[in-house]
């Protein structure tokens, strides 16, 4: 009987920690994300991983733009599609916003809140 009670108590505590998110129970609290996504502990970890995907996609895009840039005329690819990386690389994996690309400068960046510096 006591064993069952202890097990139920552990399950309740775990459920609270995972649904309420990192608050008083989890110890340290993280600042809320600028886009307001991922309010639970699991959600935060998930979106942190997606942030990294966005960052690495942009790195790959920049590398590809550099490769496709004409070294003589210094002309950049006309659109992100010209990099030939695939549709998944042209938008943010978190918010789904298309990346902003300037063919005159060859610069690409993410418009998703919190991703401006990627």
- Cβ(114)–Cβ(34) below 8 Å: yes
Interface residue with Zn ion, options 61, 65, 80, 92 (CB under 5 A) = 92
Give the binding range for Zn ion (CB under 5 A) out of 1-9, 63-71, 72-80, 91-99. Answer: 91-99
Least distance (Å) from Zn ion to the CB of residue 79? 18
- Cβ(44)–Cβ(38) below 8 Å: yes
Q: How many CB atoms lie within 10 A of CB 92?
A: 21
Least distance (Å) from Zn ion to the CB of residue 92? 3
Question: Taking CB under 5 A as the rule, does residue 80 contact Zn ion?
Answer: no
Q: How many CB atoms lie within 10 A of CB 114?
A: 17
- Cβ(47)–Cβ(37) below 8 Å: yes
Interface residue with Zn ion, options 21, 47, 54, 80 (CB under 5 A) = 54
Q: How many CB atoms lie within 10 A of CB 108?
A: 22
Give the binding range for Zn ion (CB under 5 A) out of 19-27, 61-69, 73-81, 108-116. Answer: 108-116
Give the binding range for Zn ion (CB under 5 A) out of 31-39, 49-57, 66-74, 79-87. Answer: 49-57
**For the chain, how big is the Rg over CA atoms in Å?**
21
- Site for Zn ion, rule CB under 5 A: 54, 92, 110, 112, 115
């Amino acid at each position: 009987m006591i064993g069952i009670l202890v097990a139920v108590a552990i399950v309740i505590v775990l459920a609270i920690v995972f649904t309420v998110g990192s608050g008083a129970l989890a110890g340290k609290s993280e600042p809320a994300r600028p886009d307001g996504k991922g309010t639970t502990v699991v959600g935060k970890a998930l979106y942190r991983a997606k942030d990294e995907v966005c960052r690495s996609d942009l790195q790959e895009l920049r590398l590809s733009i550099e490769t496709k840039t004409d070294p003589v005329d210094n002309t950049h690819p006309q659109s992100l599609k010209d990099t030939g990386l695939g549709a998944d690389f042209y938008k943010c994996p978190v918010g789904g916003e298309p990346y902003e690309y300037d063919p005159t400068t060859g610069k690409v960046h993410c418009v998703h809140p919190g991703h401006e510096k990627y």
